A and B are shown apart, each in its own frame.
Chain A
């Protein structure tokens, strides 16, 4: 089955700098890659997603890139703000609709 590896597990960046979180997946049939943000004590919320027919997608300060050949995908957050502090999960899904999550990255935005 699908396995999603995520790193780093913890990331601290200065406010205003960029943050990058990287993930790899194992199942070449995976075709959908969502990213979720989970604040302390709250539910995971979808922040951006990308499909396998697209290499990059942007939404304001957030961008995702996908390298299907290498089975890598990444989340980029630019001009980080205090409210970006949270745990971020990458995930992958194949044709059968099940979504498999990485273990998460705890992002700290330093003042």
Chain B
């Protein structure tokens, strides 16, 4: 059973650069949510994609953007990287609109370090 897969696992970027992170949801899931987890903190909601559209967004600037493809996989793009963007980026998949009863399945995350 394929769980949620994220790539790459680790990434080092320079301030001002752009980065793209990728996520493949668990088989059978169609909704992808992205979270930023700073060291020692809880995951912070970035945005959620369903039916290839951004359905909800948290309190993150426009530098954070995303996309969902017809196969439900998703990308997170961050432009003009800041040192404060260094964090673990988690992708979570779930099934359908309003079906939170089963919770999210998380990927292992991408550790982004901005230097």
- By a beta-carbon cutoff of 8 Å, the part of chain A in contact with chain B is 6, 31-32, 34, 36, 42-46, 49, 51, 89, 93, 95-104
Contact = CB atoms under 8 A, between A and B. Distances in A.
A49 B33 CA distance: 18
Contact of A99 (B41, B55, B104, B107): B104
Given A97-B48, A97-B98, A43 B103 contact: no
Contacts of A96: 55-56, 98
Contacts, number: 62
Contact of A32 (B40, B100, B105): B100
Task: Give the bracket for the number of chain B residues in contact with chain A.
Answer: 20 to 34
A102 B42 contact: yes
A43 B33 contact: no
B2 interface: no
Contact of A45 (B44, B94, B97, B106): B106
B103 A97 contact: no
Contacts of A45: 106
Interface string B79-115: 0000000000010101001111101111111000000
A103 B103 contact: no
B104 to A, nearest CB: 6
10 contacts: A43-B106, A46-B104, A46-B105, A95-B98, A96-B55, A97-B55, A97-B56, A97-B94, A99-B100, A101-B45
